[in-house]
Amino acid sequence: AKQLILERGLRLFELEHCDEELDWSADSADEIDAELNMIKGGGGCLLQEKIVDTAAGTLVIVCDESKYSSQFGQKWKGGIPLEVVPMAWSLVKRRVESQFGGKALLRESLGKLGPVVTDNGNFLLDWHFEQQHSWEEVDFQLHQMPGVIETGLFIQAASKIYVGKLDGSVSRLVLK
């Protein structure tokens, strides 16, 4: 992405050197429910995605209809990612499973031995829930657990969502 931006003469900067709000950010999602909440971070960058997304005045989500469902878990089977401090991963795993049910699995690396390590040096748990919840409340409660850095729950964070359909048409959903 960086190379494409530079090749096209667009302005690129590091967020920590930006002293103004970003006009907009564009991204995708792993799943979007009927309430327009999203699961993101399946690729492992949920903390950095959330930082960039909240730094922008407008978050635009672009996805295809395979990402849109009436409730979480219908289409995305990867669970809800949780970025956790490495020393606390087993504690967070036990607490999530005890408090919310389901299984929280440490994400293992496919290319090397051991867990996936995020760009921030943390581990990822993928929480495979068994039932629907009040996702806003769950997100709040997860953030109260010592060791949880960030969740892959993006509660009504998008300003606009564009959903591409198989017939070539696009639906536009406006939240904010």
Transcribe 84-103 into DSSP letters. E-GGGHHHHHHHHHHHH-SE
**b/e burial code for range 49-59 (CB count within 10 A of at least 16 → b):** bbeebeebeeb
Structural contact between residues 63 and 163, judged by C-beta atoms closer than 8 angstroms:
yes
Catalytic (active site) residue 49: yes
The DSSP H or E segment spanning 143 is: helix 135-143
For residue 7, the tally of other CB atoms under 10 A from its CB is 8
Catalytic residue chosen out of the listed positions 7, 35, 49, 83: 49
Query: What are the two backbone dihedrals, phi and then psi, of residue 57, each rounded to the nearest 5 degrees?
Result: -65, -35
Q: What is the DSSP letter of 23?
A: E
**b/e burial code for range 126-152 (CB count within 10 A of at least 16 → b):** bbbbeeebebeebbebbeebebbbbbb
Which residues have a catalytic role annotated? 49
